[in-house]
Structure 1
């Protein structure tokens, strides 16, 4: 059974303007209003509550070196989310974490590391591989979550409870970055598989999925940042970049990947950038059917 968790956090994002607050925390309720939760419940999912974050603060002027934005609140949220994900998995259900920004991967990683670890499939329009070893501008975990997940970031977020790396780099696959992503070469050198959006478009989805499955194994976590989609079809994201997948391409991949996943997270949709709800409805149309197959190959 799917277990639906709302994780309405924006703690890992930079402010749109100084002193302002990102809108990604509104995504779970916007997607609920657009019908995602109801469609999944009809398919047999259950509600598993919400993990409410601490207050977002634009702390750029006061944050000391060596800390990420909203670090204390982000770690506290990650630990609460880890507890919820662990409880769901212990019950034999498949968590679907609806964010919020992709800093939710920290808490998910903690939960899975506590259980001995799994593979990770990271679908994202960016590698999210910024870390202190390659950048002096580390601050926003939503642009650094994959580096955190494989243990390359500051220990306060990448080694919570001595559990890092949350995912072994050799069992981690990333797909979806654009050709100009400056961290892609480093990611290719360290991770089990790295596939650009262009490569994915040029290759049959079953072939790409087989390549990724060979790295992540069976029973992996599936993290989807919706900015993997091209801005022509999904402009309501924090960092839209041209050259992404269309809904048909992403849908085909999800149909291949979801059945072998133990859980999934959906992140970085920003309802503030979707005033008429068009993007929310498009995401519901794209995600509902693949998510109903989550974990079906593991049963």
Structure 2
């Protein structure tokens, strides 16, 4: 088992590319959304080099189906489980090798494989940075229409939903317990179970990134390593419109860098995933460079 008592500055980075859009609904033309192509765009913009990555692992691009699959009311549910298990192995191998996995997606459903890989080594906590809580589950959604796992990842990770995406080899319970979760940046106001700490976007902006990070870490205490999930739609739509569901208010790149930096400086970060940038919505390729700058600076502990 890798030793994570040291700060992440001592851990070499492994970039894991997850080119899928399995958790999203089809785009306006009925085709697979373009988030699957984000890992390549971010790597070509230099993210691995900026992070000093010692390895880059590329998972396959899975087939996308708009229609239902047998045995599940989650779109691409069967495929998502199969490919999540590949991601479990990749994340677990990185941690076992003493590396910090930085997982590039793709959509938010990849969180399941990330947490599954981490759970092979540790009980974990989760900081879920997202403009939406992603908490759709059978208790609040009519699955007569297919569910989209990218809007369900936090619910699934905490054990709410179909067994195909909530029960994982070697685990008796959920990937992460409610009391070990902090949701940062929600702009929807959706009520979540009381065990999860929620700091909505308005509260975050009012208190500032230093205070938001400090409150998150204090809530999670010093018991478990932390996985950080970053859905880039937490950025304001005026800053980054090329995401699946842009919105406002939101963070600036500088604010997200500062938030990641403060979390990184705790020395408790076990891994990070970055999701939902859609290069197909960015025909001039205006956004890979600022995304790379933001994420790299944040994970290197630089303060904006």
Would you say same fold, with TM above 0.5?
yes
Using structure 1 for the length normalisation, give the TM-score: 0.90
- Residue number in structure 2 paired with 1:100: 106
- Residue number in structure 2 paired with 1:190: 195
Task: Tell me if the contact between 2:131 and 2:234 (Cα under 8 Å) persists in the aligned partners.
Answer: yes
- Mapping 1:198-277, distance limit 5 Å: 198-218=202-222, 219-259=225-265, 260-277=268-285
- Residue number in structure 2 paired with 1:174: 183
- Mapping 1:80-91, distance limit 5 Å: 80-91=86-97
Cα RMSD, aligned residues only: 1.7
Using structure 2 for the length normalisation, give the TM-score: 0.89
Aligned structure 1 segments of 4 or more residues deviating by more than 6 angstroms:
none
- Mapping 1:140-179, distance limit 5 Å: 140-161=148-169, 163=171, 164-178=173-187
Aligned length: 284
Pairing partner for 1:279 from 287, 290, 293: 287
Q: Matches of 2:179 and 2:228 in 1, distance apart?
A: 16
Cα displacement string for residues 115-138 of structure 1 (whole angstroms, at most 9, x for unaligned residues): 242100000010001111111145
- Mapping 1:66-85, distance limit 5 Å: 66-85=72-91
Task: Tell me if the contact between 1:112 and 1:166 (Cα under 8 Å) persists in the aligned partners.
Answer: no
| 1:130 and 2:139 correspond | no
Cα displacement string for residues 121-160 of structure 1 (whole angstroms, at most 9, x for unaligned residues): 0000100011111111451110110101111111110112
Task: Tell me if the contact between 1:34 and 1:277 (Cα under 8 Å) persists in the aligned partners.
Answer: no
Pick closer, same or farther for the CA change 1:26–1:17 going to 2, 3 Å.
Answer: same
Q: Specify every segment of 5 or more residues in structure 1 that has no aligned partner in the other structure, as ranges.
A: 295-299
Deviation at 1:66, TM superposition (A): 4.3
Task: Tell me if the contact between 2:95 and 2:118 (Cα under 8 Å) persists in the aligned partners.
Answer: no
Deviation at 1:217, TM superposition (A): 3.6
Task: Tell me if the contact between 2:257 and 2:294 (Cα under 8 Å) persists in the aligned partners.
Answer: yes
SS in 1 for 2:156: helix
- Residue number in structure 2 paired with 1:297: none
Q: Matches of 2:37 and 2:218 in 1, distance apart?
A: 36
Deviation at 1:292, TM superposition (A): 2.6
Q: Matches of 1:19 and 1:210 in 2, distance apart?
A: 43
Q: Matches of 1:71 and 1:65 in 2, distance apart?
A: 9
Would you tell me which structure has more helix in proportion to its own residues? 1
- Residue number in structure 1 paired with 2:63: 55
Q: Specify every segment of 5 or more residues in structure 2 that has no aligned partner in the other structure, as ranges.
A: 1-11
Deviation at 1:162, TM superposition (A): 5.9
